Amino acid sequence: MVHKIELRNVTKHFGEVQSLRGVDFYVDPGEVVGLVGDNGAGKSTLIKIITGYHPPSSGEIYFDGQKVDQLTVPKARELGVETVYQERALSDQQTLWRNIFMGRELVTRLGFLDVRKMREETNRLMLESMGFTSTAVSPDSIVNTFSGGEKQGVAIVRALYFEAELIILDEPTMGLALSETRKLLRFVEQVKDAGKSVIFIDHNIFHVYEVADRIVVLDRGRVAGQFRSDELTLNELLEKMQRVAHTGSLD
């Protein structure tokens, strides 16, 4: 299978700090990859290279098997990469429909904002994809009344609507209540069912184990190991994580 994205031998240093050391990493279409590792392991740096925010110091980046030489943020977006951050995901004082279409508004043939269409589409997405059944929520609801999990759900649905191919969630469950976390994990399942790829970063190994098809362990800028979630039990995973912390290796 051609990987959705692949990094080959990627290194990143910030002055003296070596954040990534010869990292090989890939995500397949329709695959959820969990990225785990201690604070400072390099997870966010890896993500920022994939989103075009940081250029790698060395190494190669491939999208759909094609080498991309100068990945920028707009280029990554064009290639279908969307990142959902909990806090920056939405504009709080705006309505739901404005948030969905922000920056990519639908217009009529004459070039006017097609408000009716955007409200209709929002209503459809709410029912079909976001699972909003509450009668309190409408396309005209102001999103600051939404819970953290609902906001992230909106951000994910928006990414899907605009045909993201790879959705990156960096610490999405941080600060979420239990029921919100459940909702978020269901969104991840939906993204996968839609055939899209996900990179899921979370300090809570239970969440990662639950949603990920494959788990990649980073340790001090290196890939310490990886395995399919169905190859090992949660207890085995926890044991391996402890071993990595002590020895830097999974074996």
Among 5, 19, 125, 187, binds ligand ATP (CB under 6 A): 19
In angstroms, how far is the first alpha carbon of the chain from the final one? 28
Number of residues binding to ligand ATP, judged by CB under 6 A: 11
Among 18, 44, 94, 95, binds Mg ion (CB under 5 A): 44
Q: Return the structure tokens found at 203.
A: 């300090």
Looking only at residues 30 through 89 of this chain, which bind ligand ATP when binding is defined by CB under 6 A? 37, 39-45
Extended strands (E) in the chain? 5-14, 17-27, 32-36, 58-63, 66-67, 81-84, 166-170, 197-201, 214-219, 222-228
CB closer to Mg ion, 46 vs 155: 46
Would you count residue 14 as binding ligand ATP (CB under 6 A)?
yes
Q: How far apart are CA 62 and CA 47, in angstroms?
A: 14
Q: Return the structure tokens found at 239.
A: 């044991």
CB atoms within 10 A of CB 183: 19
CB closer to ligand ATP, 16 vs 230: 16
Q: Which residue stretch of 14-22, 130-138, 206-214, 226-234 sits at the interface with ligand ATP (rule: CB under 6 A)?
A: 14-22
Nearest to 154, CA basis, from 93, 74, 114, 98: 98
DSSP string, 46-68: HHHHHTTSS--SEEEEEETTEE-
Per the CB < 8 A criterion, the answer to whether 218 and 35 are in contact is yes
CB 10 → ligand ATP: shortest distance, Å?
A: 12
Would you count residue 173 as binding ligand ATP (CB under 6 A)?
no
Q: How far apart are CA 72 and CA 53, in angstroms?
A: 6
Extended strands (E) in 69-221? 81-84, 166-170, 197-201, 214-219
CB 43 → Mg ion: shortest distance, Å?
A: 5
| Residue 220, burial from CB neighbour count under 10 angstroms (0-12, 13-18, 19+) | middle
CB closer to ligand ATP, 64 vs 171: 171
Looking only at residues 73 through 92 of this chain, which bind Mg ion when binding is defined by CB under 5 A? none
The listed partner (ligand ATP, Mg ion, none) that binds 17, CB under 5 to 8 Å by sort, is: ligand ATP
Among 2, 17, 102, 245, binds ligand ATP (CB under 6 A): 17
Would you count residue 11 as binding Mg ion (CB under 5 A)?
no
CB closer to Mg ion, 35 vs 157: 35
Would you count residue 245 as binding ligand ATP (CB under 6 A)?
no
CB closer to ligand ATP, 11 vs 44: 44
Looking only at residues 218 through 247 of this chain, which bind Mg ion when binding is defined by CB under 5 A? none
Q: What residues line the site for Mg ion (CB under 5 A)?
A: 43-44
Q: What residues line the site for ligand ATP (CB under 6 A)?
A: 14, 17, 19, 37, 39-45
